[in-house]
């Protein structure tokens, strides 16, 4: 396995594991890899030093997260929860019709408004290719049950 740093055409850098370099090239060329931040599938390799797991070697024992990492994770979860509440309070939920509604707004077929909903990875790629501006937000499950 090999870990590559990748970069989308909008400049977001992220990591992805592949079986080998050839598999990485095939998946990137076939637009099978998408930026986790914006959904863009125009991806290239970013400058990096690859990490390769050797055969037969055991990986180092994972260390528990530091206090700083736990605090950062807790803060991030709180901020994502606040973002979700703000989106739900100020935007129209369009459900599975997100891509369709986003296009109507983008092309001026309907009045501009803030929307949120769900769409497939392929539809998100198509929206990005068309120049429709949107953001993919990690939607954390609610813990208010």
Q: Where are the domains of the chain?
A: 2-52, 67-130
Query: Distance of alpha carbon 119 from its chain centroid, rounded?
Result: 13
Which is more confidently placed, 141 or 21? 21
pLDDT reported for residue 59: 56
Q: Does position 145 have pLDDT exceeding 50, yes or no?
A: no
Q: Does position 144 have pLDDT exceeding 70, yes or no?
A: no
Strand partners, 16: 4
Question: Between the CA of residue 126 and those of 29, 52, 88, 108, 114, what are the distances in Å?
Answer: 16, 33, 25, 18, 19
40-92 residue pLDDT tens: 889 998 876 555 556 666 556 667 778 888 888 889 889 988 999 999 999 99
* Residue whose C-alpha is closest to residue 71's, from 81, 79, 63: 79
Please give the structure tokens belonging to residue 125: 């790629």
What is the C-alpha separation between 100 and 132, in angstroms, rounded? 11
Please give the structure tokens belonging to residue 55: 């055969």
Mean pLDDT calculated for residue range 19-28: 89
Query: Do 92 and 68 contact (CB within 8 A), yes or no?
Result: no
Please give the structure tokens belonging to residue 133: 């501006």
105-142 residue pLDDT tens: 999 999 999 999 999 989 999 999 999 999 988 887 76
What is the C-alpha separation between 102 and 104, in angstroms, rounded? 5
Residue 28 phi/psi, 5° resolution?
-65, -45
């Amino acid at each position: 396995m090999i870990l590559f740093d990748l970069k989308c055409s909008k400049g977001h850098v992220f990591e992805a594991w592949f079986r080998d370099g050839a598999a990485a090239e095939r998946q990137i060329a076939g637009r099978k890899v998408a930026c986790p931040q914006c959904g863009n599938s125009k991806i290239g390799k970013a400058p990096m030093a690859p990490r390769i797991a050797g055969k037969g070697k055991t990986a180092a024992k994972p260390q528990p997260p530091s206090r700083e990492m736990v605090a950062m994770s807790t803060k991030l979860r709180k901020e994502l929860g606040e973002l979700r509440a703000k989106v739900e309070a100020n935007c129209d939920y369009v459900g599975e019709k997100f891509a369709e509604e986003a296009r109507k707004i983008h092309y001026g077929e309907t009045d501009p408004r803030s929307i949120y909903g769900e769409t497939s990875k392929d539809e998100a790629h198509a929206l990005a290719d068309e120049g429709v501006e949107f953001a993919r937000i990690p939607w954390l499950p609610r813990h208010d049950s």
